[in-house]
Amino acid sequence: MVLGSGIAGLTFAIKVAEYYSDLGEEIQIDIFSKAELEESNTKYAQGGIAAVLNSLEDSFDKHIEDTISCGGGLPNKEIVNRVVKEAPKQIKSLINWGTQFDKNENGSFNLAKEGGHSEHRILHSKDSTGLEIEKTLLRKANSFKSIHLHYNRFAIDLLMHNCECIGALIVDELKQNVQTVTASYTLLATGGIGQVYEKTTNPVVATGDGIAMAYRAGAKVSGMEFVQFHPTALWSKDSPAFLISEAVRGFGGLLKSAHGNDFCAKYDFRASLAPRDIVARAIAFELQATKLPFVNLEVAHLDIKSFEKHFPKISQKCKSEGLDLAIDSIPVVPAAHYLCGGVEVDRNGLTSIKGLLACGECANTGLHGSNRLASNSLLEGMAYAEFCFIYIINNRRQKTSIYLPDKFYVYIPAHSLKVLKEKVKQIMSANVNIVKSTKGLVSALVKISALEKAFSSFETKSSIDVATLEYANMLTVSKLIIEQALSRKENIGLHYLKDLDDAYTSRK
């Protein structure tokens, strides 16, 4: 069973299907997606996928060093080494399955450079790389009779028996049927938590469901304090926020203040191409100082025709907002983008619960540490899908059946639920953002805990309201983020407490 239909879940399913097809053995792989099958964080990934393919200028060692440095020294070196060296193999698989990456006139890959990378090593498909990969994987998955794709299916909870995971409780959102679905292995590939914030690049499905389910089942969850805010989301009221890819800065775009100052240079010698934690924090400080709602991403000095060819989706969006890129700057702000922590897994993708694996954004693999290097997410999703696949074919497990009595679930009326979800977003955005304080975190914990306590006071029904269950999951992951942020007593990577800096300054 696979919960989630992004790059991690689909890649895993395809690899399992291919393996058993070659053996001539029958197998059933069920993929459950809470929305339409292609609706995932993968679809919204613009920049690309990182891989060392040019050994003349680049090397595995350089990619490894960039990843560890970007992660503040916290990434697991063994895992980084393993994932980085896995990249060429996974790129080859994508190409064999039909993915079209951009090439230069000489036929070689047009490799881009992004923040934190020392070399050009990002493969891309214009500014819609994630969508290109997602469509390729869905086509490939549909070619196997053993893969069964189910959309509008919401996983309520994991099925546990003798402290082991044996499947999940699934509701058909349209028919309101609740199924007890058992499996030899269950893979969590449910994506991130962006919807607990007011401004996020994540789709509306990113409510932390897999992490919340795993936590309720007793799995170890760690690194939740490391929420990455993408520095450059288009300033607007849209939700999800429109992402302005890091590749724009790799192409030559420059972040400037309202007065035309290259303010990022004050914080890092790499300026606009510094790692995301540094750039997002620099923007946060700039907005605080100027009291303005956004900073400017300047591209007018570039070859605009070449820019529009390279970034057609971004160019079209900017035009629809009334921006003339030959003259105007792009107004940008940071937005919640990626969770570097999640359900803790080992080198094989195994969680602390037998029978349960996790990969992709919902998993804490040890690759990212305190901050993710740009374009390492799609790579991680594919690499860990491979590691999970290798483990399950070498460790076969029997399926266990179980009977569960009917259960009643909390129901919150739509008008009240909308207010409550907005309240969570406001609490997290105000107190658990790029720049935090201990006082703010404590305040947020009190408020989220109160909402959590109040949740059980609502009436229960035998029918399922998915939106209410999503809200419960949002409360769970929000509380985990806050508690783990309070537990970390150092400023590193994406975790920045203003009072820790103030205390250090006063001691000096």
Query: Which residues are part of the catalytic machinery?
Result: 276
Beta carbons within 10 angstroms of residue 18's beta carbon? 17
Spatial contact of 411 and 168, defined as CB atoms under 8 Å apart: no
Give the single-character DSSP code of 359.
-
Alpha-carbon dihedral of residues 161, 162, 165, 166, nearest 10 degrees? -40
Spatial contact of 181 and 459, defined as CB atoms under 8 Å apart: no
Q: Which residues pair with 150 in a beta bridge?
A: 32
Beta carbons within 10 angstroms of residue 221's beta carbon? 21
Contacts of 397 by beta carbon, 8 Å cutoff, 6+ apart: 184, 185, 355
What does the angle CA 364 – CA 68 – CA 433 come to, to the nearest 5 degrees?
A: 60
Spatial contact of 224 and 339, defined as CB atoms under 8 Å apart: yes
Both structure tokens of 435: 């720049």
Q: Could you write out the DSSP letters of every residue in 410-429? A: E---HHHHHHHHHHHHHHHH
Beta carbons within 10 angstroms of residue 489's beta carbon? 9
By CB atoms closer than 10 A (0-12, 13-18, 19+), residue 488 is middle
Residues constituting the chain:
508
